[in-house]
Amino acid sequence: MQEQPFKGDFTRQEPIAEDAISAAVNVMRSGRLHRYNTPSDTASYASELEAAFAHYTNKSYCLACTSGGYAMHVALRAAGLKPGETVLTNAFTLAPVPGAIVNASGVPVFVESTVDLVIDLDDLEDKLSSTGARWLLLSHMRGHMVDMDALTTLLSRFEANLIEDCAHTMGSRWNDSMSGTFGLAGCFSTQTYKHMNSGEGGLIVSDDARFMAKAILLSGSYMLYERHGAAPDQEIFDGLWLDTPNLSGRMDDLRAAILLPQLASLQENIDRWNERYMAVEAGLKNDRFIAMPKRPDAEHFVGSSIQFRIPTFTADQCTEFVRRCADLGVELKWFGRDKPVGYTSTHHHWGYTPGGVLPRTDRILARLFDMRIPLTFSVSDCDRISRIILFVLTRMRHPQAAD
């Protein structure tokens, strides 16, 4: 059997839709790119986006800002994190998460991950108890959601606060509740590789009026917070603005203009992602060498990427596997490398944190592969990709087989 290389581009997103392009062009024609620069009788796109996203997540308040990392940093500050305080977070996450904690003057302490790629609730309980931490910045890394009922029960037992990193779970639900709605705040990213694309961008949602007033002030609202689309009542701000620094990180109207129409088509895209995810998963899940994370029925995820482990592989075999897949056009990331490559770094590479000993997570990451599923791939592309992965695996098991 001969396999032809796959030609698709794993980093290519769909173009911005025409309605979003016209909205952006209108903003540029008007010259009014700053969110507070719209005529006083006109709502800015940024404030319309805030109202629409608050509605979408069923939350009272929303703030649009410059990035997902900024959203998490500002959320921690608005929540009242004190300098030097511990913030627990998943050991398996992306670099902007510990970065946001450090930016907010907190100290990240990593919690182990399970083979299903979610935070390990036993280790979380141990660390809540041993550190006395008041904060969990929970990363729904690669779209995997932990049992949110068990998590919120555990946190309330320790009176710890939850902030969710929903960079990979915009539109996901646990039972009927949307990700980002389980704790004090949910933080989202609209960076190009996430579920809505404005190049860079972030959103924070919350039901807590005081928290959101502080977040809005921190984002650099000057005294123009009444121009926000999903903000608390004016009097909430009264006691706060004198004491809250301006950390300038507003979303501009150009980005908001292209995001608003994308929110309207988000559900349609989620369905398309899941169709593609199912195609890749169906190909891989019956191979006895491949271990897929278990996904509970309560988790309604967005399959914009897929992860799997090959538990029997050595590090050399992992390297060879990634190389052979790449030769056939299939771009896998491997979390077991000793040096960071592209977007893939691990807690070992975050030398600005106290680090930690995380043997369970390390064992998992050592054999964990990850693949993006861009919407520019068709479902049959996804079938093809899983065939190539299985082809490579078979060749590695039976190296004597002739091509």
Ligand X SMILES: *Cc1c(COP(=O)(O)O)cnc(C)c1O
Nearer to ligand X, 166 or 385 (CB): 166
| Closest CA relative to residue 117, chosen from 329, 276, 357, 305 | 305
Parallel, antiparallel or unpaired: strands 299-300 and 173-174: antiparallel
CA distances (Å), 7 to each of 12, 160, 280, 304, 331, in order? 12, 48, 16, 19, 11
Nearer to ligand X, 65 or 128 (CB): 65
Give residue number: closest CB to ligand X.
Answer: 68
Position 197 contacts ligand X (CB under 6 A): no
Question: Is there a contact between 219 and 74 (Cβ–Cβ < 8 Å)?
Answer: yes
* Among 163-171, 220-228, 274-282, 299-307, the segment contacting ligand X (CB under 6 A): 163-171
**3-state class percentages of the chain: helix first, strand second, coil last, to nearest 5:** 40, 15, 45
Which residues, in sequence order, are CB contacts of 215 under 8 Å at separation 6+? 63, 74, 75, 78, 185, 204, 206
| Closest CA relative to residue 119, chosen from 96, 98, 150, 95 | 150
By rule CB under 6 A, what count of residues binds ligand X? Answer: 16
* Among 147-155, 164-172, 253-261, 350-358, the segment contacting ligand X (CB under 6 A): 164-172
Nearer to ligand X, 124 or 388 (CB): 124
Position 185 contacts ligand X (CB under 6 A): no
Position 69 contacts ligand X (CB under 6 A): yes
Tokens of 126: 């141990």
Tokens of 35: 């969110």
Question: Is there a contact between 259 and 201 (Cβ–Cβ < 8 Å)?
Answer: yes
Beta strands in 82-218 (DSSP E): 86-90, 107-111, 135-139, 161-165, 173-174, 177-178, 185-189, 202-206
Which residues, in sequence order, are CB contacts of 30 under 8 Å at separation 6+? none
Position 168 contacts ligand X (CB under 6 A): yes
What's the min distance (Å) between Cβ of 222 and ligand X?
24
Q: Which residue has the tokens 């899983």?
A: 386
Position 96 contacts ligand X (CB under 6 A): yes
In the set 27, 68, 184, 216, which binds ligand X (CB under 6 A)? 68
Position 139 contacts ligand X (CB under 6 A): yes
Position 189 contacts ligand X (CB under 6 A): yes
Nearer to ligand X, 187 or 388 (CB): 187
Position 370 contacts ligand X (CB under 6 A): no
The separation between the first and the last C-alpha atoms of the chain, rounded to the nearest angstrom, is 6
* Among 14-22, 89-97, 281-289, 363-371, the segment contacting ligand X (CB under 6 A): 89-97
Position 191 contacts ligand X (CB under 6 A): yes
Nearer to ligand X, 247 or 396 (CB): 247
Rounded CA separation 356/108 (Å): 10
Position 204 contacts ligand X (CB under 6 A): no
Nearer to ligand X, 166 or 284 (CB): 166
Position 229 contacts ligand X (CB under 6 A): no
For 55, the 3-state DSSP assignment is: helix
Position 127 contacts ligand X (CB under 6 A): no
* Among 63-71, 105-113, 176-184, 325-333, the segment contacting ligand X (CB under 6 A): 63-71
Tokens of 184: 């004090």
Parallel, antiparallel or unpaired: strands 202-206 and 368-372: unpaired
Position 262 contacts ligand X (CB under 6 A): no
Nearer to ligand X, 263 or 279 (CB): 263
Altogether, the residues listed in the chain come to a count of: 403
What's the min distance (Å) between Cβ of 78 and ligand X?
17
What's the min distance (Å) between Cβ of 9 and ligand X?
19
Tokens of 295: 């996904």
Q: Which residue has the tokens 């002030």?
A: 217
Residue type at position 32: R
Rounded CA separation 15/108 (Å): 37
In the set 94, 204, 270, 291, which binds ligand X (CB under 6 A)? 94
* Among 32-40, 64-72, 123-131, 385-393, the segment contacting ligand X (CB under 6 A): 64-72
Site string for ligand X, 27-56 (x = CB under 6 A): ------------------------------
Position 97 contacts ligand X (CB under 6 A): yes
- Chain residues in the site for ligand X (CB under 6 A): 67-69, 93-94, 96-97, 139, 141, 165, 167-168, 189, 191, 200, 202
